[in-house]
Chain A
Amino acid sequence: MEDKKSNHINRQEAIISIRGLYKSFGDLHVLRDVDLDVYKGENLVVLGRSGTGKSVLIKIIAGLLKPDAGIVTVLGQDVAQLSTKELDQLRLKVGFSFQNSALYDSMTIRENLEFPLVRNVRNLSRQEIDRAVEEALEDVGLGQTINQMPSELSGGQRKRIGIARTLILKPEIMLYDEPTAGLDPITSIDINNLINEVQEKHHSTSIVITHDLTCAKMVGNRIAMLLDGRFERQGTFEEVFESDDERVQAFYNYNFVT
């Protein structure tokens, strides 16, 4: 699986490094002593059951949640130690695709895509903004939707536009939260192909949160499986699922047998 997509991966350079991460909500301890490295150019898939803290993990990486303990280093910077301004600078290099797309529903698709651009890249002419928006829409194959409202789009189209909005700032890291959740199998495959295209074209590093094994198999250079708040299994898809661990097998069987 690795050979076809691993040309740009630099195993010596960890873009994201997590050490001893803890996160709990009240009495619910979601992440317990999590260690993880994500290398430059790779697509890392984080697998796990619902409620195991997969989304919490990437929200901590993006600085949306604060860890209880532990160190999260993104592009060499300790996220918890950054000032608001420094965190904003870091966020320009980190794209976040939300589970429900999180498109601004009071804005057109053009305004949605312009939003991060006009606020963070100063002195852009109208033509440059238009060109960037059109280019981002072409990347996801939805140039014709530019003047539509998010409510007029299908679930798959909304996912694509959400990805386009993050791509417009040309981030070095992409964080995908359940990119195929709620989509039919064909649209899911389209989204998986898009994630691979983004990696190929922009040489970006990605973390893909999912519980969809087809998605994991299609996009992941490496899989990390979150079990009981820790990454118990890491490796290629085959390495992870050759385990005798009942929890791992139950996960595999549920996806491919039911």
Chain B
Amino acid sequence: MDTNHVKTGEAEPRKYVISRRLDRLFMEMNDVFRFIVRFFREVFVPPYEFKEIVKQCYEVGVQSLPLISLTGFITGIVFTNQSRPSLSEFGAVSWLPALIAIAIVRALAPLVTALIAAGRVGSNMGAELGSMKVTEQIDAMEVSATNPYKFLVVSRVLATTFMIPTLTLYTMFVALMGAFINVNTNEQTSFVSYIEQVFSAITFLDVFASVIKAFVFGFTIGMVGCYKGYNSSKGTEGVGKAANASVVTSMFLVFIEELLSLQIVNAIRSM
């Protein structure tokens, strides 16, 4: 290593390949890539942190249930109510359960679940890991001969990757129940008739595609939250920025992924 500039005390000349901002962007992209590659390198190698994974699954899954239940239920009611006038103009109110089922299963449930998780879990991960970085708790793990990436990042990313699809299925159920209450109140549709219409409208591909999509959303939210927290700058301001960036970045990526998955599923359908 060339240390001449160090020895002589001269300042090293600044060198940018393109510009400072673009160089930083590419360097960050390189860091993100390495962070993701590290996950796949470490996830299959023992020791496995089962206890921590279960704890994180509880944090992400069980602790999110009240919020997911409420938002899912309200989404079902509101979407049904807002869709009714348009359908009634064409005299097609009887199609309401089918329309709601398709909207909830294909788009609303995975999206609502992912956005709620990005807000609740993503910010929590960004802030928690950021604070651990600032208070040297991550360094303390490292000097205790424990791999902090495996203990903190792998366990959290696995938890979001597996819990968000589970929560998505739960949101589908809760939102459909909310929609049923609305339909039953207004059109006096029976439960059996409602369920028949729902299941005749959705296909296995709809549910399967949504669950796969939710896996991707979960991985993204976990990875973004952990990356931002794990690499937060020192100081309390860094912790706040990490929490904020976790939410904003993961929500943005969730919408991009939603758009991409829509194209892919449509292509599969048209085959």
Contacts and interface: CB of A to CB of B under 8 A. Distances in A.
B137 A105 contact: yes
A104 B143 CA distance: 13
Contacts of A183: none
A169 B139 CA distance: 17
Interface string B1-31: 1010011010110000000000000000000
B225 to A, nearest CB: 16
Nearest to B139: A64
Contacts of A99: 136
Contact of B6 (A59, A69, A95): A69
A120 B145 contact: yes
B196 interface: no
- Greatest chain A CB density within 10 A among B3, B136, B142, B143 is at B143
A66 to B, nearest CB: 10
Interface in A11-56: 22, 24, 26-27, 29, 32-33
A53 to B, nearest CB: 13
B229 to A, nearest CB: 13
Given A22-B3, A102-B136, A105-B137, A91 B9 contact: no
A116 B137 CA distance: 13
Contact of B146 (A26, A95, A116): A116
Interface in B192-211: none
Contact of B143 (A29, A32, A64, A103): A64
Interface centre among B7, B132, B140 (most CB of A within 10 A): B140
A119 B142 contact: no
B135 interface: yes
B183 to A, nearest CB: 45
Contacts of A62: 143
Interface residues of B, number: 21
A242 B135 CA distance: 37
A69 B1 contact: yes
Contacts, number: 73
Given A69-B1, A99-B136, A29 B9 contact: yes
Nearest to B146: A119
Interface in A45-97: 59, 62-64, 68-69, 88-89, 91-92, 94-96
B104 to A, nearest CB: 36
Interface in A181-203: none
Contact of A68 (B1, B139, B143): B1
Contacts of A63: 143
A115 B143 contact: no
B151 to A, nearest CB: 9
B130 to A, nearest CB: 13
B144 A91 contact: yes
A100 interface: yes
A98 interface: yes
A88 B146 CA distance: 8
Contacts of B3: 22, 68-69
Interface in B143-191: 143-146
Contact of B7 (A32, A95, A116): A32
B136 A27 contact: no
Contacts of B137: 102-105
Contacts of A165: 140, 144
A228 to B, nearest CB: 10
Contacts of B9: 29, 32
Nearest to A117: B144
B188 to A, nearest CB: 51
A21 B142 CA distance: 22
Contact of A98 (B6, B12, B136): B136
B238 to A, nearest CB: 15
Interface of A: 22, 24, 26-27, 29, 32-33, 59, 62-64, 68-69, 88-89, 91-92, 94-96, 98-100, 102-106, 115-116, 119-120, 165, 169
6 contacts: A64-B139, A64-B143, A89-B145, A95-B143, A105-B137, A119-B146
Interface of B: 1, 3, 6-7, 9, 11-12, 47, 128, 132, 135-137, 139-146
